[in-house]
Structure 1
Amino acid sequence: MNGFYQLTRAIAAIGLLAMGGAAAAPAYAGPAELALLQSYLGDWRGRGVLVGANTETVLCRLSLKPGNQDKVNYSGRCSLAGTQLSVAGTMAYIAASKRYEAVMSSNATFTGVAIGQKRGNGLIFNLRERDQDEEGKELAITAQINLARDAINVVFEVIYVENGDSLRADVPFSR
């Protein structure tokens, strides 16, 4: 399994919580939806472990800032095993769909949209994607980003469909 490629694809999922690369539909969020998104503005740091063929420490920084049209822009960077991954995107409440969305792009050529739902006082974004690695092997990528009060937690997994090999990480963030 190509660990570097899987790793960069997997870490790209982390970026789904504070992104800016692709434009979301017009948001027109109400005051409550906008206030919930804006409650996460600021600088965040995360430290977790990536488990696969080897175990690696993941260190991340994330910055959420006000965007245009009731959106929150984010940018982040993660490092592990001497590799840097950067992500950027936008989070917004899409009134027409009655849901939150996070859109992202990364330097690992990954782009995606995560659908968010309000849970209690926070938000949970889920991403499920299928893709191929540079050798044409099919990958299943999943990520869950949980924004709850003064914490953000990202859990992501990349599975090679053909043989079940996987990478999994849990990265908690705090201000």
Structure 2
Amino acid sequence: MTKLGHLTQAAALAAVVATAGAAGPAIAAPADVALLKSYIGEWRGRGVLVGANQETVVCRLTLSQGNQDKVNYNGRCTLAGSNLSVAGTLAYVDANKRFEAAMTSNASFSGIAVGQKRGGGLTFNLRERNKDEAGKDLNISAQIHLSADAIKVSFDVVYVESGDSLRAEVPFSR
């Protein structure tokens, strides 16, 4: 099994925690804006990253009012003695007729996730291909589910060549 480096773990976690930030103007129905704004506040999460080893992941996430009808977020996770920072914006992008989230991180990862209403909440899915610090191809799959008074982040990272993987679920609460 491939030993997964701290930067790889951070990039993988970045794909998860930092799904946010839409480009272009957002013009949303009042209910869509209200749904996004209902998540504004301070969130804390703790989970386990499973790969070659198991490691505890401890995160905090702040969602705040952004420009127009957008919601900004800033997050930080501690993993194996490393810190991962993520930032972005959640919005309903009228031109694309969908919720979008984009993120940037200190682990050289950025991406845009598409969100859909499910039940009374939102689910954002991100699928990306990236490279680790050694240049090996990774498939990254992340889901962020915002419902009622909870946020749940799940992700899988698979090394294309070896099939080795990282998996994590981090539940957040206020």
Same fold (TM over 0.5): yes
Gaps of 5+ in 1: none
Gaps of 5+ in 2: none
**Alignment size in residue pairs:** 172
Alignment of 1:76-115 (within 5 A): 76-115=75-114
Q: Taking every aligned residue pair, what percent have the same amino acid on both sides? A: 66
Q: How many Å separate the matches in 2 of 1:148 and 1:161?
A: 32
TM-score with structure 2 setting the length: 0.95
4+ runs deviating over 2 angstroms? 14-17
Q: Which piece of structure 1 moves more, 158-167 or 128-137? A: 128-137
Aligned position for 1:136 = 135
Deviation, 1:137, is 1.0
Q: How many Å separate the matches in 2 of 1:3 and 1:50?
A: 13
Alpha-carbon deviations, 1:41-74, whole Å to 9, x = none?
Answer: 0000000000000000000000000000200000
Aligned position for 1:150 = 149
Letter in 1 for 2:11: R
Q: How many Å separate the matches in 2 of 1:101 and 1:172?
A: 21
Aligned position for 1:66 = 65
1:11 matches 2:13: yes
1:170 matches 2:172: no
SS of corresponding position for 2:18: helix
Letter in 1 for 2:157: V
Q: CA RMSD in A?
A: 1.1
Q: How many Å separate the matches in 2 of 1:127 and 1:93?
A: 16
Deviation, 1:157, is 1.1
TM-score with structure 1 setting the length: 0.95
Is the contact between residue 15 and residue 75 of structure 1 (CA under 8 Å) also seen in structure 2?
Answer: no
Is the contact between residue 49 and residue 167 of structure 2 (CA under 8 Å) also seen in structure 1?
Answer: yes
Q: How many Å separate the matches in 1 of 2:30 and 2:168?
A: 34
